[in-house]
Amino acid sequence: MAEVFIIGQILKAVNFCEPNLFVCWNIQAGSLWKVVEGESKGQTATDRNRIDLVSVFAHPIDLHLATRGLQGWPKFNVEVYSVNALKQYHPVGFGFAYIPSTPGYHNLSITTWKISPVTVLDSIKEKFFTGGFTIVKKDLIYSGVERYKILTISSGIVEVNLNLIFKNFRKYDIIFNRT
């Protein structure tokens, strides 16, 4: 089996309008992949610091994956939530990106979006009551036919630093982008 070591951190979330942010993250991969060691999902602390619309998390990631094939290359999925004064939280950003396919250091900027209110009443509710809308079926975030029917609003960016180590890929005659 070929192996991938993912070591890094969720550095910060930038350009989010909402205060008190935390990030739920997970790494999704196909059926040929399996986690050998480490956590493939987690949650950062809530950052209250709002200097220049930057929330710093510095949340560590350390994961060891093994694979039997190329299909289902792992994706880094982030869900950004905002906590209000009543300790209620609501999603303010969904986003995902592929784990880079070259070894070494990478800085990922994951652009996020959130569900848009459809009617004016929904907008008012979002502003003053519920805080925001979420998706009932989570798989709609990264799949679905006729996705254009999902209305979203552009949100902020989550920056992730990753160091990748690849093992045994060359043994199975796999060529990456810049090899």
Partner 1 sequence: MEKIKSNEQFSGIYRSSDDIENFCLRITLKKIYSIIRVPKFESTQTSFEDQQSTTDFEEVLSVNWQQKVFSKTEKAFYSQKENCTTDLAKRYHQIIKDSRGNDSNNLLFTYIDQDNYEPADKFGSQNITRPKIKRNPSRSFLQANEKNRSLFLDHNQANDSKEFETEKDFVKMFVMADLDPSTLLVSIKYRKSDGLLIIFPDFNDLSNGYYLEIDQNSKQMFVYFIENLSLSSNNVTNQRVLKVEMNKLHKETNELIQKLSVSRNENFELPKFGRVVIMLEIIKGLNFEFDNIHVRFKFEIPKWLKVIEGSLSASTHSSFRKGECWNFGYCHSLVLDFDDEFVLSKSEVEILNLTFELISIDPLLGRERREGITSIKIPLTTPLNENYYTLTCFRDIQGNSKLTDFFERFFLGGIHKILDKTLMSSPIDKVVNYYGNQTISTGELCIKIQKIEQLRSSKRSKSHFETIDKIINSYHEAKAQLEK
Q: Among 41, 98, 122, 124, which residue interacts with partner 1 (rule: CB under 8 A)?
A: 98
Residue 63: C-alpha distances to residues 50, 66, 74, 119 (Å): 30, 10, 12, 42
Q: What's the closest the beta carbon of residue 36 comes to partner 1, in angstroms?
A: 6
Q: Which is nearer to partner 1, 86 or 139 (CB)?
A: 139
Query: Closest by alpha carbon to 165, among 2, 22, 4?
Result: 4
9 binds partner 1 (CB under 8 A): no
- Quickly count: other Cβ atoms within 10 Å of residue 33's Cβ: 22
Task: Please tell me whether residue 135 adopts helix, strand or coil conformation.
Answer: coil
Choices 19-27, 42-50, 84-92, 169-177 (CB under 8 A): range interacting with partner 1: 169-177
Six-digit token string for 34: 């399996």
Per CB under 8 A, residues contacting partner 1 are 1-2, 15, 32, 34, 36-37, 66-71, 73, 75, 94-98, 100-101, 109-113, 116, 142, 146-155, 157, 168, 171-179
